[in-house]
Amino acid sequence: MGFDKETSFEEFFIWWYHIIYTKATDVLIEQNIIKSPKNGLFYYEMKI
């Protein structure tokens, strides 16, 4: 990558992990597996 000399592995991993779990959360909401709370504070709630 073009910025590999500017960013540590730890910084890159945190950024990458944030993108992955955000996408996973969006997919779970779209599939109605989890719901997004109205107060904006997010937590996972399984529907059983």
User: How far apart are alpha carbons 10 and 43 in whole angstroms?
Assistant: 25
Number of domains in the chain: 1
Residue 44 lies in a domain: yes
Residue 1 lies in a domain: no
Residue 15 lies in a domain: yes
* pLDDT at residue 1 in the model: 59
Domain that holds residue 37: 7-48
47: left (phi over 0), alpha (psi -120 to 50) or beta: beta
Question: What backbone torsions phi and psi does residue 5 show, to the nearest 5 degrees?
Answer: -85, -15
- Which tens digit of pLDDT belongs to each residue from 1-48? 566 678 888 888 998 999 998 899 889 889 998 887 777 676 666 666
Quote the pTM value. 0.61
Residue 37 lies in a domain: yes
Residue 45 lies in a domain: yes
* pLDDT at residue 46 in the model: 65
* pLDDT at residue 5 in the model: 75
Residue 30 lies in a domain: yes
Tokens for 20, please give them. 């992955």
Residue 29 lies in a domain: yes
Question: How much is the CA Rg of the chain, to the nearest whole Å?
Answer: 15
